Amino acid sequence: MTRAVTILAVLLLCQLLVAQGQPSLPPYAVKNAAVESIPVQPPPAPDPLRLSQAQLGQAGAVAPHRSWRGFWAMTAAATALTVADIELSQSCLQQSTCSEANPLLPRSRGAAYAIQLPLLGAGTWFSYHLKKHNRNHWWGAQVGLIVGHAIGTASGVRVAF
């Protein structure tokens, strides 16, 4: 159990460090960050009353800035639940007090991580790709991972304690 908590803490710390790498400046300020003596002003917003139809179509193509906090929170939750599910299942399997309900997962801890972590990475990448392209249902893959591993973790906690 101590091993699971340690792994969980390391993974959450890694998620926070990756989230810290996101620039806090808007894109127009990042381009001009080297020139500190010139104040950086945001570009003026176009006046919709003075735009032609073609310009209106181009102005509407710019997507509003969306926060990535929800993405990183769901990624951290999916990662934590994946690790908790694997560790609780492996603890239970080693004590021979339960059996794995998923026939595709092996009894080995390393093999379980070798199967589950690429699936977690694929789901996270898929959600990232959808969020990056401003799709409304980017969270679907993350919710699927969270629900699946929450069920596994809940059943593991029920059997372990």
At position 95, the amino acid (one-letter code) is: Q
Q: Is the pLDDT of residue 124 over 60?
A: yes
C-alpha to C-alpha distance for 153 and 155, rounded to whole angstroms: 5
Calculate mean pLDDT across residues 87-105.
83
Domain membership of residue 62 (yes or no) is: no
The pLDDT assigned to 120 comes to 95
pTM of the model: 0.58
Sign of CA dihedral 141, 67, 132, 62: positive
For residue 62, the model assigns a pLDDT of 47
Tens digits of per-residue pLDDT, 25-59? 555 554 554 555 555 677 676 665 665 555 555 54
User: Would you state the pLDDT for residue 67?
Assistant: 77
* Residues 116, 131: Cα–Cα separation, whole Å: 22
- C-alpha radius of gyration, the chain, whole number: 22
Residue 146 falls within a domain, yes or no? yes
Residue 53 belongs to some domain of the structure: no
In this predicted structure, which of 4-13, 104-113, 145-154 has the lowest mean pLDDT?
A: 4-13
Say if 136 falls within a structural domain.
Answer: yes
Query: Within a domain: residue 107?
Result: yes
Residue numbers of the domain that contains 126? 1-19+70-161
54-78 confidence digits (pLDDT tens): 555 554 444 555 678 889 999 999 9
DSSP character for 49? G
- The answer as to whether 59 is a domain residue is no
Residue 84 lies in a domain: yes
Domain count, the chain: 1
